[in-house]
Structure 1
Amino acid sequence: MTIHDILPPTGIKVIAAASSKKRLLHDIGDMAQACFGLDQSDVVEALLERESLGPTGVGQGVALPHARLPNLKRVCGVFVRVRKPLDFDSVDRQPVDLAFALFAPEDAGVEHLKALALVSRTLRDEGVCNKLRSNEDPSTIYTILTEATSAQAA
């Protein structure tokens, strides 16, 4: 599995700011609807439910919101870069400016975990994150993310 398998080129957005974590999750829900035909309100509800179990801000400005959804056939995701970092209740209490949201079928066991591990590994790379933060173009960001996982696999 690579990020190319999870993230479509259209699943990347750079936004100026989000007023709150909840607002960012709504933006992610809009993207999931546009990219995968998922119901925006179902996505937001599932993401908020997951956040209630514990924040998905993993530190160093990165968040990995994720949820299991009915009627989904495979693991998929979207990526958002926020120009103005926002509070995400991260483990290191640092604001978040990079969010990779993952969606998995309700019965996806190991595939969901593999996808989370892959994305986490990619966004733990300081060089990758610096490149993501210094780019505005979604196609460039897509290339950075997909090349990073190709290099890790090699």
Structure 2
Amino acid sequence: MQLSEILTISCTSCDVKVTSKKRILERICQLAANQVGDIEQDELLESLLNREKMGSTGIGNGIAIPHGRLPNTSKAVAVLITTEQAIDFDAIDNRNVDIFIALFVPENSCKEHLKTLQSIAQLFSDKKVIKQVRRCHDNQALYNLIQQASHTIDAI
């Protein structure tokens, strides 16, 4: 599954003002909870925190892909947030992070989860896409950029 298929405009947010790893994860869960509906924000946060305990999802170059599994759902949800200032996220390259692509997937969708993570990593390995994401200061423009970039990657 591609990011463009599970990301909505309501889960896309630019220039968020946060100062810590905990606060960005809470903001991600706040947006996702509105999309998921029947799963509480605290349960979403617990899912992300459990994954972060295994090792940071900060993949380097100012990017993190926090992800968690959701029980009792068949719907995957993505959240894309850029922050006003980069924050410490314990990334593998020790750089602060300002682009967060969070992913919540059904508990029983392991293979699909890995494919989605792979497509996100591929999309955000493109330096041009990363620069364009960082230049966006409008939620709709950021959402449109990801939709367009995802379709370009699919065509390759």
SS in structure 2 of the partner of residue 136 of structure 1: coil
The answer as to whether partners of 1:17 and 1:85 remain within 8 angstroms in 2 is no
What is the aligned-residue RMSD (CA, Å)? 1.1
> Corresponding residue for 2:61?
60
- One-letter identity of the residue aligned with 2:117: L
Q: CA deviation at 1:3?
A: 2.0
Q: CA deviation at 1:109?
A: 1.6
Q: CA deviation at 1:72?
A: 2.0
1:108 aligns with 2:109: yes
> Corresponding residue for 1:14?
14
Does 35-44 or 100-109 show the bigger shift?
A: 35-44
1:142 aligns with 2:143: yes
The answer as to whether partners of 1:30 and 1:40 remain within 8 angstroms in 2 is yes
The answer as to whether partners of 2:35 and 2:77 remain within 8 angstroms in 1 is no
The answer as to whether partners of 1:11 and 1:31 remain within 8 angstroms in 2 is yes
Does 36-45 or 61-70 show the bigger shift?
A: 36-45
Provide the rounded CA distance (Å) in 1 between the counterparts of 2:115 and 2:18: 29
Provide the rounded CA distance (Å) in 1 between the counterparts of 2:143 and 2:149: 10
Provide the rounded CA distance (Å) in 2 between the counterparts of 1:149 and 1:28: 21
Unmatched runs of 5 consecutive residues or more in structure 1:
none
> Corresponding residue for 1:92?
93
Provide the rounded CA distance (Å) in 2 between the counterparts of 1:94 and 1:110: 30
SS in structure 1 of the partner of residue 148 of structure 2: helix
Does 116-125 or 51-60 show the bigger shift?
A: 116-125
Unmatched runs of 5 consecutive residues or more in structure 2:
none
State the aligned residue count: 154
> Corresponding residue for 1:24?
24
SS in structure 2 of the partner of residue 8 of structure 1: strand
Does 6-15 or 109-118 show the bigger shift?
A: 6-15
> Corresponding residue for 2:35?
35
TM-score in terms of structure 1 length: 0.96
Provide the rounded CA distance (Å) in 2 between the counterparts of 1:123 and 1:23: 23
- One-letter identity of the residue aligned with 1:79: L
Q: CA deviation at 1:76?
A: 1.7
